[in-house]
Amino acid sequence: MNADKRRFRTNQNSLVHLFRGHYTRDVAGAPSSVSVYEDRKDELEKHEFMMGEARGRLAVSLDVLTDALVLVGQHGVYCRSARQPGKPAMDIQLILKGITDAKQLISDVMQSLSTKR
Indicate the domain borders of the chain.
Answer: 36-116
Residue 28 vs residue 16, higher pLDDT: 28
Please report the sign of the dihedral spanned by the C-alpha atoms of residue 65, residue 18, residue 25, residue 30: positive
Cβ count near 58 (within 10 Å):
19
Residue % of the chain over a pLDDT of 90: 46
In this prediction, residue 32 carries a pLDDT of: 65
Asked whether the predicted pLDDT for residue 116 surpasses 60, the reply is yes
- Kindly state the greatest CA–CA separation across the chain: 57
